[in-house]
Amino acid sequence: MREDLDQPLFNRALRGRYPPGSTIKPIIGLAGLDQKATTAGHKIFCRGYYSLPGKTHRYRDWKPEGHGIVDMHDAIAQSCDTYFYELAVELDIDNIASTLKQFGLGEPTGIDIGGEAAGLVPSRGWKRANFRDKQDQVWFPGETVITGIGQGYLLTTPLQLAEATAALATRGKRFQPILVKAIQDSLSGEISAQPHIQKEAISGISQRDWNEIIEAMRGVIQDPKGTARAIGYQAPYTLAGKSGTAQVFTVAQDTEYDAEEVAERMRDHALFIAFAPIEEPQIAIAVIVENGGSGSVVAAPIARAVMDAYLTPRESTGMEANAQ
């Protein structure tokens, strides 16, 4: 099992490092609003690609024909890459890095279990410190572009992504995740609850900006063109989410990605983040399906199933009590 190529013993939740893909867009959008790089009403015309000023290279949108005219809400709900390419350039990589770190990305969550990986939030300083070749030490504009859609050097663990989702749900409140709820003394039977450790909150962001992003995440589920509208069908609670599809390798400029022609281990990862209920959040979740393909098709239904089990438990038949 240790030698198996699929690494069945590898703790992916704590140690797996993945590009977050489009699941990062709500945080990028929030950074754009907070730092005045854009407004919620600002609209762009998405023609299916973005090019840096004076350059011919096209950074492609997942939708070849483009999304047409979109604002912030539409760009999150429909996952318009072009909007976030442009916004990332307006923000600049160091400002993006600063906001991502506020959400706990790039460092361990501090969960009460060993072996947690840190993830990676890139910046100019990080690149200078980690690349020896002088040319590679330069931060290129194109690297900022792709960071805007959660690609490039940016890496997160599933647990970090879930913690960041919880911070979105609570509008900036952050708690250290724990596994142990309480400890019982084997002799006295006394039970001591483990304390909830509150981390430094994300401050300075207006309630209006939080609301804009959360409403856009609701749109992912409820809008007619929302990328994960299928999982909202007959949900007995309100939920907000964001789909993501992360590339494992770079597709050449003039090459079309065809999953059927690519080895399974080189296919895109499927991601989805979600929380519910929106009005009073009780659960936040991050799903990553390695080489699963579309986040909205593969990962989103898993998130819905987990939230259904947590928020709408079936009535006890007595078997559960007997088992306990």
Start-end of H helices in the chain? 12-15, 25-34, 72-77, 81-91, 93-102, 124-130, 134-137, 141-147, 158-169, 207-222, 300-311, 319-323
Q: What are phi and psi of 323, to 5 degrees?
A: -65, -35
Q: Cβ atoms within 10 A of the Cβ of 290, count?
A: 16
Active site residue 22: yes
C-alpha to C-alpha distance for 270 and 268, rounded to whole angstroms: 6
Residue 227, both tokens: 């990328």
Vertex 153 angle, CA 90 and 245, to 5°: 85
Nearest partner of 286 among 301, 278, 274, 277, judged by Cα:
274
* Catalytic entry in 22, 123, 294, 296: 22
> Which residues are tagged catalytic?
22
